[in-house]
Amino acid sequence: MTQYGVVLFYTTSSVMQAEKLLKTEGCSIKLVPTPRQFSSDCGIALRFDWDCREKIKLVLDDAKIEFDAVYFLDKQ
Amino acid sequence: MIYLDNAATSWPKPPEVLKAMTDVLEHAGGNPGRSGHRLSIAAARVVYDTREEIAQFFNISDPQRIIFTSNATHAINLVLRGILKPGDHVVISSIEHNAVMRPLRSLERQGIHLTIVPCAAHGTLDISKFERATGSTTKLIVMTHASNVTGTLLPITEIASIAHRAGALLLVDAAQTAGALPIDVPAMGIDLMAFTGHKELQGPPGIGGLVIADDVEVSQIEPLMRGGTGSRSESDEQPDDLPDKFESGTANLAGIAGLGAGLKWVKDRGVDEIRDHLKKLSQALLDGLSTLPQVRIYGTLDTERAVAIVSFTVAGKSVSEIGLRLDEEYGILSRVGLHCAPAAHKTIVSFPEGTVRLAPGVFTTLEDVQEAIQAIAKVIES
């Protein structure tokens, strides 16, 4: 079974920038409403396959995209 | 009908712009960044893609430094109100639009010091005069890239050097030039640039933006408005993150989509090709008008040193009469009067009567220009 993580960002514009970059990197990602257990924010978060987490951090750091945190997503 | 008022707003718009606007409302009509559902995400993608396209177009590496505003005036006010404090010194040219003049006159009453450096009667700027007017207390230089009255281009790169030697920032009003000629913001030394979407970028009215150069410290700019951003919603304080710091309230989604499509149209056609086309048209206007009796043309009369704007008066005839007759009898649409730029008209000595302004656009043809010249000749004769 696939395990997921989420990245939380400070702005919607950063989420969009990250999505565009990560798509070209071949990571399996999906934009989802920010899970309530991680933030009271009303925005969008980026969900990814947990195996991809190191690559995702690398891509975001390289592009200097600020992100709030990366969390492991427990099945509800 | 021949539309020669593209300096006020470009018309017609490319069909792609209209389609992009209806498409986004029909298929991506959520509120970008406010919800996590598919329509909200689709809308946020459209907004981000346009932001990224604009950043590339002006050679800005961080797309988050493109701030959407409702027009160039809004972007100019954002900078002036956001940076200037009592005691700060500001230097401008004498051909600025009221978008610059009016907020600065208001700030003057709140304690900023304003120096207006006079341009020559044909609208060009003496750089040494500008250098002498700039000093250690100068916080900001504000300059139009091209006059909206005569089309005259101002020497932005040289002014940027003067600003930076004095430790000041340069804000450029690119309302008449964005999309009409290539603009490389870092290469020209521009720190902040206000642009509008509805002129040569071929977008709809109601959308514009502020470009913040990659090396400009954002903390020195206070937001003009504060409010909901869809981010950091747990806090009741305005966030410092870009672009949210300066973009409160629901975005003009249809406007942004239209601007994105307009910019794509400009890129596909090629901004150099557009510049060449417009130069040919304004040369034809200058050639034609200069053969007519009683006509006085304002500006440098040099298409290399101007955008495609030609201003003229006719001795013994009021500009409003000329404008009305061109419209009613010949279907030629111009703009007459002071063009929201009384300072510029004082500089070129056409105040308070103003001028007739002809501004061809990307869809104007040489035949249109010839027809306009013939019509003006007939109006002058009778």
SS3 string, B232-295, reads: CCCCCCCCCCCCHHHCCCCCCHHHHHHHHHHHHHHHHHCHHHHHHHHHHHHHHHHHHHHCCCCE
Provide the pLDDT for residue A43.
Answer: 80
B328 and B220 in a common domain: no
Mean pLDDT in chain B? Answer: 96
Q: How far is B50 from chain A (nearest CA, A)?
A: 11
ipTM for this model = 0.89
**Which residues partner with B5 through β-bridges?**
B359
Q: Are residues B364 and B287 in the same domain?
A: yes
- Residue B249 shares a structural domain with residue B278: no
Q: B121 and B41, same structural domain?
A: yes
pLDDT at B261 over 80: yes
Mean pLDDT of B374-381: 96
Which of B65, B232, B250 best probes binding to A when mutated, by most A CB atoms within 10 angstroms? B232
- pLDDT reported for residue B127: 93
- A 4-43 residues with CB below 8 A of B? 10-17, 19-20, 31-34, 39-43
Look at A10 and B33 and tell me if their CB atoms are within 8 Å: no
Q: Which of A16, A29, A34 should be substituted to probe chain B, the one whose Cβ sees the most B Cβ atoms within 10 Å?
A: A16
B344 within 8 A of B148, measured Cβ to Cβ? yes
Task: Kindly tell me if the per-residue pLDDT of A76 is higher than 60.
Answer: no
B92 lies in the same domain as B106: yes
pLDDT reported for residue B182: 97
Range of the domain at B249: 15-268
Q: Which of A62-76, B201-215, B224-238, B297-311 has the lowest mean pLDDT?
A: A62-76
A54 vs chain B: nearest CA distance in angstroms? Answer: 23
Percent of chain B surpassing pLDDT 90: 93
Q: What is the pLDDT of residue B145?
A: 98
Nearest-CA distance A51 → chain B (Å): 24
Are B199 and B326 within one domain? Answer: no
Top residue of A6, A8, A10, A12 to mutate, by most chain B CBs within 10 Å, is A12
- B242 CB neighbours in chain A (<8 A) are 11, 13
| B37, B49, B231: residue with CB nearest A12 | B231
Q: Give the span between the Cα atoms of B133 and B121, in whole angstroms.
A: 19
> One of B41, B340, B377, B380 is an active-site residue; which one?
B340
Give the minimum alpha-carbon distance from A41 to chain B in angstroms, rounded to a whole number.
5
Boundaries of every domain in chain A: 4-73
Residue at a domain's end among B224, B247, B268: B268
**CB within 8 Å: B239 and A10:** yes
DSSP state letters, B193-232: EEEESSSTT---TT-EEEEE-TTS-GGG---S-----SSS
Domain spanning A4-73, CATH architecture: 2-Layer Sandwich (3.30)
Find chain B residues with C-beta within 8 A of A17's C-beta.
48, 52, 63-64
B119 carries an active-site annotation: no
Residue B36 is predicted with a pLDDT of 83
Mean pLDDT for the stretch of residues B301-309:
97
CATH number at residue B155: 3.40.640.10
Is residue B257 located within the same domain as residue B274? Answer: no
Q: Do B77 and B93 fall within a single domain? A: yes
Beta bridge partners of A33: A44
Q: Nearest-CA residue of chain A relative to B40? A: A44
pLDDT 10s digits, A23-72? 988 889 999 988 888 875 668 899 999 989 999 999 999 999 999 888 99
Q: Do B282 and B257 share a structural domain? A: no
Q: Can you say how many angstroms the Cα of residue B23 is from the centroid of all Cα atoms in its chain?
A: 27
Between the CA of residue B88 and those of B73, B107, B156, B192, what are the distances in Å? 21, 10, 22, 17
Q: What is the pLDDT of residues B34-73, one digit of tens each?
A: 888 999 999 999 999 999 999 999 999 999 999 999 999 9
| B214 and B281 in a common domain | no
Collect all residues of chain B within an 8 Å Cβ-Cβ radius of residue A12: 32-33, 44, 48, 230-231, 244
Q: Which of B32, B37, B232 sits opposite A10 (nearest CB)?
A: B232
Alpha helices in chain B (DSSP H): 15-27, 38-57, 72-83, 98-108, 127-133, 156-165, 185-188, 253-269, 271-290, 319-330, 342-347, 366-381
Residue B270 has pLDDT above 90, yes or no: yes
| Sheet with A4-9, side-by-side order of all strands | A29-33, A44-49, A4-9, A67-73
Whether the ω angle into residue B118 lies within 30 degrees of 0, i.e. cis, is no
pLDDT of residue A34: 87
Residue-wise pLDDT for B119-128, tens only, equals 988 888 989 9
Question: Which tokens hold the place of B117?
Answer: 């450096």
Of A10, A19, A34, the CB nearest to B36: A34
Return the closest-CA partner of residue B143 out of B165, B164, B163.
B163
B352, β-bridge pairs: none
Q: Tell whether B233 and B352 lie within a shared domain.
A: no
Q: Please identify among residues 73-102 of chain B the ones whose CB lies closer than 8 Å to any CB of chain A.
A: none
Contact B40 A44 (CB under 8 A): yes
Contact B144, B93 (CB under 8 A): yes
Domain count, chain B: 2
Q: Which of B314, B312, B299, B310 is nearest to B348 (CA)?
A: B299
Q: Over the stretch B164-209, which tens digit does the pLDDT of each residue have?
A: 999 999 999 999 999 999 999 999 999 999 999 999 999 999 999 9
The C-alpha of A65 sits at a distance from chain B's nearest C-alpha, in angstroms, of 9
| Contact flag B52-A31 (C-beta cutoff 8 Å) | no
Say what the pLDDT of residue A75 is.
Answer: 64
Pair B284, B169 in one domain:
no
pLDDT tens-digit profile of B83-111?
Answer: 999 999 999 999 999 999 999 999 999 99
| Interface size, chain A vs chain B, as Cβ–Cβ contacts under 8 Å | 79
Domain boundary among B248, B268, B288: B268
Last residue of a domain, one of B268, B302, B330: B268
Q: Tell me what percent of the residues of chain B surpass a pLDDT of 70.
A: 100
Q: How far is CA B332 from CA B158, B278, B311, B376, in A?
A: 38, 18, 15, 9
